[in-house]
Amino acid sequence: MSDLTERPAIAMPDPKAAFPAIRSGDLEVRLARDPDEIDASQALRYQVFYEERAAKPIGAMADLRRDFDRYDPIADHLLVLDHGKGEGAKAVVGTYRLIRKSRADSHGGFYTVGEYDISKILAFPGEIMELGRSCVDLDHRNRPTMQLLWRGIAAYVFKHEIMLMFGCASLPGTDPDALAGDLSYLYHYHLAPEPLRVRALDDLHVDMNRVPRDGIDGKRALAALPPLIKGYLRLGGFVGDGAVVDPQFNTTDVCVIVQTSAVTDKYYKHYEREARGG
């Protein structure tokens, strides 16, 4: 949920956060290198969230046609670029926002605290990272682009020794009853263990246990989930207790938690080779 009516100044990216670019044909994944590339990521977010998915712009967002909030200046912006479209900002076709705890601590915390009590994961030893604002343009919404985004996340995880990743992931729509099957499947099959079980804030909490476990076809329910949530679950992810309706983005959010140590051998070895250039 954005809380700004004016766009904050776009900060210069932190060069210490960067990792070597990863290429696959015309596609490349790396961190944004200048304010123009961050601006392009905000423009892509506006296109996907507001023009395509009917989110409600706040303040200057509609005039600027940019999605932004106060967390953008402290984030690292992961980009997929299609060099067949051009270079730099012109090539941005996918983005993910990454915020490390070491940066969030000195800038007012994480975005997720507006929806969830995350005290349990804040106490987790080592570096943790919030994932958010993931989107890809319509023409590149395919397996190669998503795989490249995940390879970029993996490279970032290894560089910064991230021990745990988390963030809000969205189901389309704001009617929990219409999403009863999805929410109940996540609750019964993927609820986080107690030490990591973040909880939606009391005034926002939507019960996810809406259909009995024996009334759910687990295989079919998993297949019906949005690709991003399925991706987290395949990495061994869990969800917190309670969903949150986000009227601005026309979504119902769940909090996903992924321990990097819980990543399957298949993913871990693949991403480690890519991240280390092996």
This prediction's pTM: 0.91
Q: Which residues have C-beta within 8 Å of that of residue 42, sequence separation ≥ 6?
A: 7, 66, 67, 68, 72
pLDDT digits (tens, 9 = 90+) for 137-168: 999 999 899 889 988 998 899 899 999 999 99
Dist. CA 54–CA 177, nearest whole Å: 20
Q: Does the structural domain 15-276 have CATH classification 3.40.630.30? A: yes
pLDDT digits (tens, 9 = 90+) for 40-72: 999 999 999 999 999 999 989 999 999 999 999
State both tokens at 221: 């329910």
Domain boundaries, the chain: 15-276
- From first to last of its 278 residues, what are the pLDDT tens digits of the chain? 445 567 888 888 888 899 989 999 999 999 999 999 999 999 999 999 999 999 999 989 999 999 999 999 999 999 999 999 999 999 999 999 999 998 998 888 899 999 999 999 999 989 999 999 999 999 999 989 988 998 899 889 989 999 999 999 999 999 999 999 999 999 999 999 999 999 999 999 999 999 999 999 999 999 999 989 998 998 889 999 999 999 999 999 999 999 987 554 445 555 555 555 54
Q: Half-sphere exposure of residue 50, counting CA atoms within 13 Å on the CB side?
A: 18
